[in-house]
Each structure stands twice: as C-alpha cells, then as structure tokens.
Structure 1
Amino acid sequence: MQAKLLLDDGTLFTGESFGAEGRQVGEVVFNTGITGYQEVLSDPSYCGQIVTMTYPLIGNYGITRDDFEAVRPFVHGFVVRRHEEVPSNWRAQYSLGTLLKEYGIVGISGIDTRMLTRKIRSAGTMKGIIAAGDVSVEELRAQMNATHEIHDQVSRVSTRSVYNSPGNQERVVLVDFGSKSGILRDLTRRGCDVVVVPHDTTAEQILRLRPDGVLLSNGPGDPKDVPQAVETIRKLLGVLPVFGICLGHQLFALACGADTAKLKFGHRGGNHPVKDLASGRCYITSQNHGYTVQEQSLAGTGLIVTHINNNDGTIEGLRHENHPAFSVQYHPEASPGPYDSSYLFDEFLTMVREFKAGLPKIPRQTEMQLEARGV
C-alpha cells in the first residue's frame, strides 16, 4: 500500500505503508539514534510527533516486551528509509510493523530520510500529516490545516493514579509528566521506595506522602503548557531535595523564574555530547527535547549552569545555589551504549541523605502550615 507524508511547507514524500492504515497529524522531527527505535516509539516524550529515524535500517531486531519505556507508544507516525519486515534477533517477540498496527500508528518507508532531515535542520520542525492508502494531496492539506496543535500532551501520557514501587531505602516521589520506565528502574535498583504521582499533584499532596526527595520526570511538549506543575515545584524548593530530568529540568527552571524557548529542530538521539563545566569531562548522552532554558533569563534566579551542549552551547544542567535542587536536560536513565550519566541518581540520593542529616524531613514551619490547611 502507498503512503504519503505531506509537510506544512508543501513538500510531499511518497513511499510504502507499513503499520496501521489511516491518517495522523503531528510535528515532524528526527532522531539520530542508530539503535533504540523501540525505546523511541515507547518514549512518552514523543507524544504528538511524527518521528523520522536518520539511521536507514529500522526493524532489524524486532520488538521485545522488556524494552518498552511505557506501556504503549504515543507517537503520531513513524518514518524510515528501509523497514525490515523479518527481524533477526533471538529476543524478538514480534515485528516493528506488528507493533505499529496494534497501536494505530501509520508508518512510511522507502523515502529519502536524509533529504527530510536536512529540510528539518534548515527550516526547523514543522507540522505534517502522514497517511496510508490512496488519498489526494488536497485532502491531506485540508485535514492538516483543520487540525490544531495539541497542548495537553502531558495529561495524555501521565499516570491517572498514585502507585508505589516499594523499597527499603529513601522514599522518592516521582512526578510523572510522561516518565520513562528507566527512571523508575534506576531508583528501585538503588533500593528507593518510589511513589509515582500524576502530573497535577499539588505540593501539599506530595508533602502528605512524607517523601525524602522529589524527582521531576521527562515528558512531552512545551513546559509552559503545565503551569500548575511550576507552582508545585516552586512550593517544594527548599522544603525537599529536587531532581529534574528533561521536561522536569525545564519546569524546575521556570519555577525559579527563568524562561524557556523552542529550539529550531531540537535534540533527539543517543549520541549528543554534553560538557560538565566543573570537571571539563564530555559525556555522550541520550536526548529528546524541543525546548531549552534560555541562559540570559537566569539572572537573579539563583540557578547556576552546570552542563552545556557541546554542539550548540545550550544549557544541559542547572543547580540552585541556595536549595538542594538540580536538573539535567538529557536522560541519565538511558543507556545508548555507555552508562555515562547514571551517576546523577547517586548524586541525587547523596543530596537527599545530606539534607535528611542536616534538617528535619519537613521543617516545623511547613508542618504548621499543613496543619492549618487541614493536610
């Protein structure tokens, strides 16, 4: 079956369909990972996006249940140069095409993904529509123009209820803005008692759980689309240790008074170099984000830049000079080959233990405020 990908600037790509039938509108982006297509598809941070893989052979090793980063994919389309229908991998349980059909995701193969990537790098990410079947360009254009940009991605991917992954060490509240399962794995591997809460959980509700620290997860979309989270983080700063990852990093910055802006084409892939300004060391990191914290907005916020992107100089890490709180723009739970950045979870837990040793878990003033509110 034929498939089409129409970009907002009028560029049309025609290829072969694999996956589900139908049409989907989304933001067209690219990922530079050589492996990890299953992790990309199941990363909630891609909610609403049509993902292009720059590596030409996709589907080689199939799909394995244990490699999912969420219970289901949230992408709005998948674009590859060549789709391998028959996987060769002893772990494979089914094919990439089967996964796309199961979750209603349209896939297109046989197009020039290098040309598409160069166009996105030149013009920036743009709206697009992907369709399987015999459909006219006029129909696609009309549907794309009639589809509004979505702003509720976080509410679509966040957990609806509180749940617990028990452990015998520190209790960490993981605020789920679209969290990858790797974050939960890294915390539980260290013995943490993890309580996962929805994205709109208030500071008072979090404090009621009596945590030792709070981790702000990754997630999709514009951080300014979740203002209630910014207010929650602002109330938690100085009361509990805070660690932010990706979207959590951006929300942490907004809570401190900094600003964010959209990148031209974002950072997506498993090979992005990040420099630690304290040590001078370069880490190879996994990234997936379309927004960045603006450095010129940091004045007066109490935030210090700890890491930068070696490709474009954008901010990749922040630390608060007065509160036990820090964040990174990249994904320390991901392992695109090396495990370079997993030490950040250890740093977070060290910060939690030092905070516990030096201060009450919840200051008495906060306890009195909670009692006055009936919490």
Structure 2
Amino acid sequence: MPQQVRGVVAHSKGKPVSLETITVPDPGPAEAVVQVQACGVCHTDLHYREGGINDEFPFLLGHEAAGIVESVGEGVADVAPGDFVILNWRAVDGTCRACRRGEPWYCFSTHNASQKMTLQSGQELTPALGIGAFIEKTLVHAGQCTKVNPAAKPEAAGLLGCGVMAGAGAAINTGGVRRGDSVAVIGCGGVGDAAIAGAALAGATTIIAIDVDNRKLEWAKEFGATHTINSREQDPVEGVQALTDGNGARVVVDAVGRPETFKQAFYARDLAGIAVLVGVPTPDMTIELPLIDVFGRGGATKSSWYGDCLPSRDFPALIDLYLQGRFPLEKFVSETIALNQVEEAFHRMERGEVLRSVVVL
C-alpha cells in the first residue's frame, strides 16, 4: 500500500525549500521503490528551485542518489528487492533511433516512472530529473536503478548519479582522453574536478586546472591536476599554451558553460584538438566564432550529455575502480547533512565552500 515518507519540496521560484510528508505509491509495471541512503546536493537542484529548468512546481528535489531497492513492479527483471543501486536520470529505452544505431548513451526516449508521488493534499510532485531523491523512499522507473557493488559507501556512490559521472564522462567518453594526453579543465567545482579525475584515470600526463578561486585550484590538485591557472591573474589560453610547448591541450573541458569560457576552451586546444562543453549554459547565451578559425583549427567541438555515459556500463566500472583505490569518489564529499539541512547546503554551494554536501538518511 502507499507509504508516507519525508521529502524536500520546492513550492515556488526562489523560495526556501521545506520538509514535507509525501505519499509514495506502490510500484507499478516497470517501476521500483528505492529506500534512499544518500543523495548529493547538486547545482541542478538549485536550478529547479530557482525556476531555471521549468515552472512545473512543486518539485521534489534531489537526484544524485544511492540506495536499496525495496520493491519492484510487474515485469521488472534487472533489479530485485535488496539490490544496492545508483539512480540515473537517463534510463535508455533500447528502441529509439540512437539506441538502434548502437549509441544508447544518446537515447532520445529515456524512461521515468509513470505514477506520481504526491503531497498529502493529493497535489502531484515533479521529481527532479525524473528521480526526486531528497526523500526517505522514492518511486522511479526500474531502468533508472543501476546495480553496483554493495561494498561502496552510499554517500560516495550516489555522486556518480549526476555530477561526477558528467565530469568524468566528459573527459573519458566525450573527449576520448588517452594515455600521455594533455588536458585542460575550465571550472574546478564538482564536475570539473571529476573531469580532472577522469583524465588522470585515463592516463593523461599534463592536466591543467583553470579557475578564478585559488581554493578550488588547490582542491583540483587532489584529483590529479598537475598544473593550475588562476584566470583572474593570467590569460588561460596563453597559460595552457605555455604549459604545452606552445601548442595547446589535446582536450579542453569547459565545466562552466559560459560563452567566454567556451571560447577559452576552443582556443586553448591544440590544432585538431577537442573542446568539450559539459557546463550547462542558460537559454539566452550565444557565441560567435570566426568561421575560418572553426575550419582552420580542425578537430572537434562537442557537447557532453551526462558525460555520454551508459549507466549499466559505466557505474559498475567506476565503482569497482573506486573500491580499488583508483578513482577518488570519497574526496568529492565535503560534508554529510540531514534532510532538513538542504536549504543551508544550497547557500554553502553558492558561496563555493563545498564540492558536494551529501544528505545521508
């Protein structure tokens, strides 16, 4: 029967979130109820609260989560009650044109739960990224549950559900970083540091971290940055060139997503290099580049969706690497908090004081 649990809700644009009683229905066909153990506080949740995604309030926030499958609906075979899972927001359907051509990480028809969780009044909630995990138990599509090694700590594992996977995948999957490569990363928050960690994992030997905050540049060194540039003090394009024999980096990741940072990424790459945009721009942003430079510099400019990841492939592999001590997931956890501390965590995130606050239930 439906369950009453506590969850964090944003009722209107820019207003503080509140802890509410929420009704979670029994899972229907292809659905699962997951007992959430931990959920990271991501900038995307703040964008929802600020009305930057859409205006389908009220929102049930939270999406970077790990937990235990409690129950499943009819037809679910890939996960079962008791499985330790990371939640993902791109559950592939396997039948769209991207999936049919062998590129499921681009799936154009991803799944969410059919039923809605509701407030006690019966008002339907919009779950952030189809998940809604600042909650004791959440209802998702079973395809959004990726089974991983239960030895992983939930507060670390859950971060693969969004920001860490986006950054690491931008370097490894989208940028195709290889052994011996030079890599530059613009923006050293959680996503940028994950790109640095991904580049280090792939074997890059020169990894340049770029930010305006010296504190973040120090953090970047912990994830594998070999050099740092404060772009308030030095032109980042010139700085990258100086560290790469005047050539530029083979792969440059823009983890900020602004016109000026993307231009820096475009010009900081080597000839025939790759510029990857993983930072999310706002709809009003535009960019202008000389077409002769687009042609003459060669290479590629790419956008990275969720790190171009395939959760069923990438989550278990990265968890195994984490458990082997080769991928530093725990370093992304700046603090653990309770459900009723999400609003304060948003403010710390805005001030740049944390990489990730993680709600632990």
Structure of larger gyration radius: 1
- Same fold by TM-score greater than 0.5: no
Question: RCO higher in 1 or 2 (8 Å CA, sep ≥ 6)?
Answer: 2
Give the TM-score taking structure 1 as reference length. 0.31
Give the TM-score taking structure 2 as reference length. 0.32
Question: Greater share of strand residues, 1 or 2?
Answer: 1
